[in-house]
Structure 1
Amino acid sequence: MNMTLILLAAGDSVRFNGNKLLYEINGKPMYRYIIEEIDQLPKDLFFRKLIVTQYDEIMECMKDSGYKIIVNRDSRLGISHSIHLALKELEYENTDFLFAVCDQPYLKSFTIEALVKGFYESKKGLACLCLKGEPGNPAIFAGSYRKELMELTGDKGGKKIIRAHPSDVFLLEAESADELKDIDKLSDEFE
């Protein structure tokens, strides 16, 4: 397996009324949840780990974590810009990519591991966690999809590519709807 983990943590939290990634849930900043779940995974599951962020607090916390920190000071350009920055860092790497967002605090390590294993066993070029067949995050892209990822613009992420290639997608049904729940508004945490 030659998989690179790319954590996306650069969003502007427009609908949240503040920086949602630093918002504390049960005494812990939201972005820490996925990092702690990833820390429970086998060390050889990911070839490399990157985090793309604009937030100094996250950079400071992650500086000695084993993640390559990619700074995104143009988050207004949308999620595609974070994707492009990560892929440019990996320009000469022959790798597949798992993209995950840091506003899904209920995602579990065993789900991430099952997604990676299912992707390789399926021999498909794409994979994502889903709920009742509806694609969500995290999502995996074989290296052969690098060009299409680099063609994304604005606030359009990889879901566009997944929808364009339905026969090449491995879908892993989430065990719980909570795992796919991303916190976009302050009220989402309490729904």
Structure 2
Amino acid sequence: MNKVVLFLIISIFSFATEKEAYFAGGCFWCMEPPFEKLPGVVSVISGYSGGHIENPSYKEVSSGKTGHRETVKISYEDSIISYPELLEVFWRQIDPTDPGGQFVDRGFQYSSAVYYVNEKQKSQALESLRSLENSKKFEKKIVTEIVEFKNFYPAEEYHQDYYKKNKLRYKYYRYHSGRDRFLNSIWQ
């Protein structure tokens, strides 16, 4: 391989960096599919963020006593998809006006949040939030929190890609959750 071609290949890969985004949008089963299908998204992992117990179990988090939220960790190539583009997808998956959870899932552990990992993400998340508020899509006040990232613990294996592993159960849950009816009423 000649040196020019090798230099070009190295240059291309040096500009493509993998980054992480963390979004809490209620049931993490419902948050995986919209992100996994996006070009530039490397992986989406369901887990727990923000609480005070290390490596909590689903049972502990769902009790509402750990301070964690169900969260997805998105690894992405920022040369293909940007953080603001991920934020646009996030807002279209949730009810940002609900302080008590998301759809049928109630409690803090199902409330919505954007966890930022640096000041640039914080700024972009706040700008995205202001843009959503200015759109007047929602009659109620937007209450989704923009908070500093402090931890993430992957959920148990049976939660990962639940929508693929348990298609019928997932479809039943998703349909009866009211999520799609709500989202269709806002975004169509």
If the length of structure 1 is used for normalisation, what is the TM-score?
Answer: 0.30
Q: Is the radius of gyration larger for structure 1 or structure 2?
A: 2
Instruction: From the two aligned structures, give the one with the greater helix fraction.
Output: 2
If the length of structure 2 is used for normalisation, what is the TM-score?
Answer: 0.30
